[in-house]
Amino acid sequence: MTKLTRDALAKYIDHTLLATDATNEQVLDLYREAAELGTFSICVSPNMLPVGGAWGSLDPDAEQAEPGEDAPKIATVIGFPSGKHHSNLKAVEAARAVTDGAHELDMVIDIGMLKAGHPELVEQDIATVRRAAPAPTLLKVIIESAALTDAEIVQACEAAERAGADYVKTSTGFHPAGGASVEAVRLMRETVGDRLGVKASGGVRTYDDAVRMIEAGASRLGMSASAAVLADAPAE
């Protein structure tokens, strides 16, 4: 198994809090913890942005200041968790999230469209969000891989690439079918090559889980147990 140091592994992680009962104070704590851990980003619900109103301040009237280059990036979710939202509403949500400080968007596709045999509609859905939030905003597409066949995973990844996405992502972590698997991550990486990133999310709870996902081709990891995972990583 590949050895990844604590600092190296941290740069793969989107430190995540998407609980329905999350509070503003918990999001602030998440951001502070992410900064201490050195994770790449935090990922929170869109109505929790901007974080603290002013990067760590609970005072919405406080003067806002852009964090330093090494500060965690801010990611949020779009059409979460079902993906069963009109594309134009996903687009509005995406544009608002960028205005509120999001650097990255993790959007959920309508997997029912895919399963009904309409990957072209999935592509249109993704493209609508991409137009609303163009580069340099990073767009990740959640395909809910555990609920898909291998052929559908390939179709979803191909649709995401055609629509201009930057990443494909395994899971919301909310679907009863489950989260990320090594097999799904490997297939997603084989499909997109080095052209897109692959994010493994949902059920990544240990250091060994994280390393296996990276070995399979993940270039980003979504997890809420970041502190515990990194505590088990070698210091050097």
Q: Percent of the chain at pLDDT above 90? A: 88
User: Mean of the per-residue pLDDT values for the chain?
Assistant: 93
**Any catalytic annotation for residue 106?**
yes
Q: Is the pLDDT of residue 200 over 80?
A: yes
The pLDDT value recorded for residue 57 is: 46
What is the residue extent of each domain of the chain?
Answer: 6-54+70-231
Measure the CA–CA gap between 75 and 69, rounded to whole angstroms: 15
pLDDT in tens, 25-35: 899 999 999 99
The pLDDT value recorded for residue 236 is: 86
Q: Percent of the chain at pLDDT above 70? A: 92
The pLDDT value recorded for residue 140 is: 98
Structure tokens at 125: 């859905």
**Any catalytic annotation for residue 169?**
yes
pLDDT in tens, 56-106: 444 444 444 455 567 899 999 999 999 999 999 999 999 999 999 999 999
The pLDDT value recorded for residue 59 is: 45
User: Of the residues 90, 110, 125, 199, which is catalytic?
Assistant: 199
**Any catalytic annotation for residue 209?**
no
Beta carbons of 78 and 90 less than 8 angstroms apart:
yes
Mean pLDDT, residues 130-136:
98
Instruction: Identify the band that residue 2 occupies on the pLDDT scale cut at 50, 70 and 90.
Output: confident
User: Of the residues 14, 166, 169, 209, which is catalytic?
Assistant: 169
User: Of the residues 14, 106, 110, 166, which is catalytic?
Assistant: 106
pLDDT in tens, 146-184: 999 999 999 999 999 999 999 999 999 999 999 999 999
Q: Does domain 6-54+70-231 have CATH number 3.10.350.10?
A: no
Instruction: Identify the band that residue 51 occupies on the pLDDT scale cut at 50, 70 and 90.
Output: confident
